Amino acid sequence: MDRTGAQVVVEVLKKEGVRAVFGFPGGSVLDIFDEFYKANIPFYLTRHEQGAVHAADGFARASGEVGVCIATSGPGGTNLVTGLATAHMDSIPIVALTGQVPTQLIGNDAFQEADITGITRPVTKHNYIVQNTNDLPRILKEAFYIARTGRPGPVLVDIPKDIQQIKTSLPYPEAVEIRGYKPTLIGHKNQIQKLATAIKRSKKPIIYAGGGVIASGASAELTELARRLKIPVTTTLMGLGVFPETDELALKMLGMHGTQYANKAIMEADLIIAIGARFDDRITGKVDAFAPTAHIAHIDIDPSTIRKNVKVDIPVVGDVKHVLRELLNYIEIGEHGSWIEQVAKWKAELPLSYSQNGGLKPQYVVEQIDEITRGEAIITTEVGQNQMWAAQFYKYTHPRTFLSSGGLGTMGYGFPAAIGAQIACPDKIVFDIAGDGSIQMNIQELATAVTYCLPVKIAILNNHYLGMVRQWQEMFYGRRYSSTCLTRRKNCPPECDQPGEHCPEFIPDFIKVADAYGAKGIRVTESSQVRPALQEALDTEGPVVLEFLVEKEENVYPMVPAGASLNQMIRGMA
């Protein structure tokens, strides 16, 4: 049957089982939006294209499905770039559809023309520009396949306006065959047996798990491996929730702002079993000093990540779930008694903690969110101190419950991601733990949350600073707070060493902002108000903005300074 290119897009979205499309209309995608209208596609209008791509990202992370977004040509496409880079760094499956000027105008600097395939080539897993409507069904099939298979990632499909209008009779393919793209799913049996032997011989093994375990759906296999052999588990930021943090074997997060006991364990281990992780700089610290006594085994579906940053003794290329299932066939019940006792001692001696002195502590707010939601919420974060406190003081027990921009560190990610997560999981409580700086980068999406009656809760840890940058300025730049005070005005003194003395109270007033958008706003200034405010938010049907006025110069600890090794953590400052 003949269909226009725009009708093919709708057909594909239905056949792929897409439950949500996020985006913003424009001239070069009007044909597609007209078909959305006729076909009743589940479309969510965001207030900015960056909000759309982050919402698609949050939907994908929370659900395990491919997130979908759409934007018009030119600025519509370029506004997707940051979100595509975010998804690319964190291996999140997204299909982004962009409009393009008609094919005969490409290269002529037409109105709202941009070479979006050229622009996004470094920040997508793959991208296409459709030049013949007959190619569109195949290209869209490939786009979804590439996005969700192997190491997942974003795929962009650029569709010129005339391609959307021309008809094709070619059907949507049933299968995909792409020469040169054959992800390795089954790990080499000899390598898996080598790993099993190394585990049996080790005295101080540790599992280091990343986001690849979540992408593979291998949380159960990893948990069985750890418990069967009594091996402690530490995770990356992206891996939070893959192993329950309430388990006695859990060491929580390692690295720059990880736990001291996780970093001690990784530095003392004789075998590191890295699973779906990539040994990035925030994990290893000084690479030359990383885990000096350990043999390293690395399981990953992407061979390019193995040996990229550290020397690996036992590489295993394959899908994590497949490899762990095979590995379990060679593993019997084991014990590492003295090692587990040592790790337990470190956990008791070096817990995550913070000073109880002073005003409202952001760590306390996160702890209360954990308690009131019983650890069952989906937590999204912005980037900075709020992100690290959310990682440290909430107890994650399930995969796909911590959504954050790990690799790129994108401020403004958390709120639109929370919107996507809420749409993906309508029965779940969704909290965005935010900073007063990052929340302003996509605060316009309050309109999206209100218009679609989404009960997202935004917990703003308001310290009136770009907190993490200010912390570095305090620790390494002589407390010279250059351009990090968010309430600084023209008439402020040149050198401000007394935060709060001359500051206006609110820039902006988040409660008034919430009210302007039609959301509920609650301000909290004291610890005793935290729990009642959280309960009020949970009892409110729609979106709620919770503003917590926290200690202005509270820092994230522990911390490994840039260029230092993991055994050089700063526990706190006097």
By C-alpha distance, which of 271, 251, 272 is closest to 203? 271
315 shares a domain with 422: no
Domain assignment present for 180: no
Cα-Cα-Cα-Cα torsion 370, 403, 325, 205, nearest 10 degrees, comes to -70
372 shares a domain with 475: yes
Asked about 165 being catalytic, the answer comes back as no
Domain assignment present for 554: no
pTM: 0.97
Final residue belonging to a domain, choices 136, 168, 200: 168
Q: Which helix (H) or strand (E) holds 180?
A: none
Task: Identify the three-state secondary structure at position 284.
Answer: helix
Task: Output phi, psi for 235, to 5 deg.
Answer: -130, 160
Domain that holds residue 28: 3-168
Residues with Cβ within 8 Å of residue 458, at least 6 apart in sequence? 415, 418, 431, 432, 434, 439, 543, 544, 545, 546
208 shares a domain with 302: yes
466 shares a domain with 345: no
- Active-site pick, 15, 43, 65, 112: 112
262 shares a domain with 319: yes
> With b meaning 16 or more CB within 10 Å and e meaning fewer, what string describes 369-401?
bbebbebebbbbbbbbbbbbbbbbbbbbbebbb
Asked about 510 being catalytic, the answer comes back as no
Domain assignment present for 567: no
Task: Identify the three-state secondary structure at position 128.
Answer: strand
Taking only the tens of pLDDT, the chain with its 574 residues reads: 899 999 999 999 999 999 999 999 999 999 999 999 999 899 999 999 999 999 999 999 999 999 999 999 999 999 999 999 999 999 999 999 999 999 999 999 999 999 999 999 999 999 999 999 999 999 999 999 999 999 999 999 999 999 999 999 999 999 999 999 999 999 999 999 999 999 999 999 999 999 999 999 999 999 999 999 999 999 999 999 999 999 999 999 999 999 999 999 999 999 999 999 999 999 999 999 999 999 999 999 999 999 999 999 999 999 999 999 999 999 988 888 899 999 999 999 999 999 999 999 999 999 999 999 999 999 999 999 999 999 999 999 999 999 999 999 999 999 999 999 999 999 999 999 999 999 999 999 999 999 999 999 999 999 999 999 999 999 999 999 999 999 888 878 777 756 556 677 788 999 999 999 999 999 999 999 999 999 999 999 999 999 999 999 999 999 999 889 999 999 886 4
Report the distance separating Cα 348 and Cα 342, nearest Å. 10
- Active-site pick, 38, 111, 345, 536: 111
Asked about 112 being catalytic, the answer comes back as yes
Asked about 547 being catalytic, the answer comes back as no
- Active-site pick, 11, 33, 141, 161: 161
Final residue belonging to a domain, choices 315, 349, 383: 349
The number of domains in the chain is: 3
- Active-site pick, 468, 471, 547, 548: 468
Asked about 290 being catalytic, the answer comes back as no
Question: Residue 243's domain is classified under what CATH number?
Answer: 3.40.50.1220
- Active-site pick, 35, 49, 113, 554: 49
Final residue belonging to a domain, choices 349, 373, 392: 349
